[in-house]
Structure 1
Amino acid sequence: MLTRRRLIASALATPFITTAAAAEDPLKVRELYQAKGRGLSDLAKASAGKRLTVEGFMAPPLKAESRFFVLTKMPMAVCPFCETEAEWPNDIVAVYTKRIVDVTPFNVKIVTSGVLELGAYKDPETGFLSMIRLTDASYG
């Protein structure tokens, strides 16, 4: 029987269940892009401004002591640097961290968590252009 007390208890527990499920099952980079074409997925569009957990591989940083790196769906020995919005690959995510990045070997899978931002952004320090990124991110 559904009582007011059970309804309130279940409503209060829902955010914890959702957070736990997200922590157990990180998204894959490819889930943020359309299966065909170069656009963003409906999931990415609906998740803009929300904290997401995404797994992938750290591409080698563009410079030492950087506060961002590129997360790729496959291991890459060199960083995929893009010059224009039209050339942005549909299999990477820029990740902006609070601290200087400790480089992880390019072939070791990592899990990142950050706030999803969409749209063109050019990093003022490096000139790196991103179309999709996680900000205020952590990884491990």
Structure 2
Amino acid sequence: MTAGPSHASPSELSFGDLYGKVSALGLEFSDKVKSLNGQQIQMRGFMAPPLKAEAKFFVLTEIPMSICPFCSTDADWPDNIVVIYLSEAQTFVQPGTLIAVAGTLEVGSWTDPETGFLSRLRLREANYWIA
């Protein structure tokens, strides 16, 4: 866990900002999310229980979650989670602890070649701290 970002404040993004309208293809990303793609952003939420004790990624959720969101298909992807890829392995926090996360936003469906897990939104090179 780090003490928070040491550079200029990134743009704040909330779970309510993630999606705009619903189309025939399902939920579409909001204009705000599309405009922030590739930029540093900050979010607050809860860490879903990690799959293993030491990993360089976790799932940020809007509310505390106890199930594996990666088991969904792209169509079933929950609208209140973001995958966080850490800049370095960190100790995970207890479920139910509010955290803040900062990293580079990446938008669009992507399957992790190492794990096979699907994500629609990710933060790369991220760090987190207790909010």
Instruction: Decide: shared fold, TM above 0.5.
Output: yes
Counterpart Cα distance in 1 of 2:115 and 2:51? 8
Number of residues of Structure 1 aligned to a counterpart in Structure 2: 119
Tell me whether 1:60 sits opposite 2:46 in the alignment: no
Distance 1:66 1:21, change over 3 A: closer
Stretches of 4+ aligned residues off by more than 3 angstroms: 19-22
29, 33, 40: which one aligns with 2:15: 29
SS at match of 1:44: helix
List alignment gaps of at least 5 residues for structure 1.
Answer: 1-18
Tell me whether 1:118 sits opposite 2:118 in the alignment: no
Distance 1:34 1:135, change over 3 A: same
Larger radius of gyration: 1
Distance 1:20 1:130, change over 3 A: closer
Counterpart Cα distance in 2 of 1:34 and 1:101? 33
Is the Cα contact below 8 Å between 1:83 and 1:128 reproduced in 2? no
More strand by share: 2
Instruction: Tell me the TM-score normalized by structure 1.
Output: 0.76
The Cα of 1:35 is off from its aligned counterpart by 6.5
More helix by share: 1
Distance 1:82 1:38, change over 3 A: farther
Tell me whether 1:100 sits opposite 2:100 in the alignment: no
Is the Cα contact below 8 Å between 1:95 and 1:135 reproduced in 2? yes
Is the Cα contact below 8 Å between 1:48 and 1:118 reproduced in 2? yes
Tell me whether 1:134 sits opposite 2:130 in the alignment: no
The alignment-based identity, stated in percent, is 45
The Cα of 1:20 is off from its aligned counterpart by 4.2
Counterpart Cα distance in 1 of 2:10 and 2:118? 32
In the alignment, which residue of structure 2 is the partner of 1:70?
A: 59
Q: CA RMSD in A?
A: 1.8
Instruction: Tell me the TM-score normalized by structure 2.
Output: 0.81
1:2-21 to 2 correspondences below 5 Å? 19-20=8-9
